[in-house]
Amino acid sequence: MDTTELSDHAAHNREHWNDMADQWVASGEDSWARSTPKWGSWELPDEGIELIPPDLSGLRAIELGCGTGYVSAWMARRGAEVVGIDVSDGQLATARRLAAEHDVPVTLVHGSAEAVPEPDASFDFAISEYGAALWCDPYVWIPEAARLLKPGGRLAFLSNHPLLQLCYPPSGDTADETLHRPYFGLHRLDWSEVEIDPGGIEFNLPISEWMRLFDDSGFDVDEFLELRAPADVAEDRYAMRAEWAKQGPSEMAWKLTRR
């Protein structure tokens, strides 16, 4: 990959994920070993979420920001010919090892989901679970996903809910009950210089703006899910308080169809 072609945030996030890659090996191994998906930070059961169609036989699928590649593995096991793209060579090294150990055929590409080196209309299904969905600029990656999909192709993605992003204090501390930034105009969230646990550059939009972008990019919305933490979860995850996430949506999932 020619890293000079990356957007500023993609270059920053590449470093961020390379630095963290070893911390994601164990969870990647657990998820590769699962036959049934669990979704998001709260590891929610598949029932009622079902981001991946049950049968992908004969179809081409792409995971945008595949990380350790377990979502790609779940799609390949449902019959798809799968491409996973990720900007972090460290994450891809884990994905490559696990694909070999599990003997699951997945083509892993080192690159940015904002400029995917694949032809127009070459996929039937695209997905992102906290990959492009959080770390890429929606005004770039949503039109890019539309370009990659055939008419009638589907996009599913899961990421943080904008309400959660509003409730993170500027210090980078755990989300609380205060709105720390305006909802209107929500777009780029730069956590690289915060006091607590400095991180990457994330993106989100107001819900109405997501919907306008989908329509402008040629997508129809099939389903929108606002996800909550399970009632029996007590421990906090990734700067999210379990009690917060039982009362309001910490995560969202969208299912779209390319017109």
Ligand X SMILES: C[S@@+](CC[C@H](N)C(=O)[O-])C[C@H]1O[C@@H](n2cnc3c(N)ncnc32)[C@H](O)[C@@H]1O
- Interface positions with ligand X (CB under 6 A): 10, 13, 17, 24, 65, 67, 71, 85-88, 91, 112-114, 129-132, 135-136
Q: Is 17 or 210 the residue whose CB approaches ligand X more closely?
A: 17
In the bound complex, what is the minimum distance in angstroms from residue 158's beta carbon to ligand X?
Answer: 8
Which residue's beta carbon is nearest to the bound ligand X?
A: 67
Our CB check for ligand X shows the closer of 42 and 183 to be 42
Q: Which is nearer to ligand X, 3 or 183 (CB)?
A: 3
d(CA 259, CA 249): 29
By the 10 Å C-beta count (0-12 exposed, 13-18 middle, 19+ buried), 150 is classed as middle
**Of 177, 190, 157, 149, whose CA–CA distance to 245 is shortest?**
177
* Closer to ligand X by Cβ: residue 63 or 81: 63
CB of 201 vs ligand X, minimal distance in Å:
9
Structural Rg of the chain based on CA atoms: 17
Look-up of token digits 């039937």: 124
Q: Which is nearer to ligand X, 135 or 244 (CB)?
A: 135
Closest CA relative to residue 50, chosen from 160, 158, 210, 204: 158
Smallest separation, CB 17 to ligand X (Å): 3
Q: Compute the half-sphere exposure of residue 99: CA atoms within 13 Å on the CB side of its CA.
A: 22
Least spacing, CB of residue 135 vs ligand X, in Å? 3
| Residue 32 CB, nearest approach to ligand X (Å) | 11
Residue 138 C-beta: closest distance to ligand X, Å: 12
Beta-sheet strands, E only, within the chain: 38-39, 44-45, 60-64, 81-86, 106-110, 123-129, 149-160, 188-190, 201-203, 219-227, 251-258
Tell me whether residue 67 or residue 153 sits nearer to ligand X (CB atom): 67
Measure the CA–CA gap between 6 and 114, rounded to whole angstroms.
9
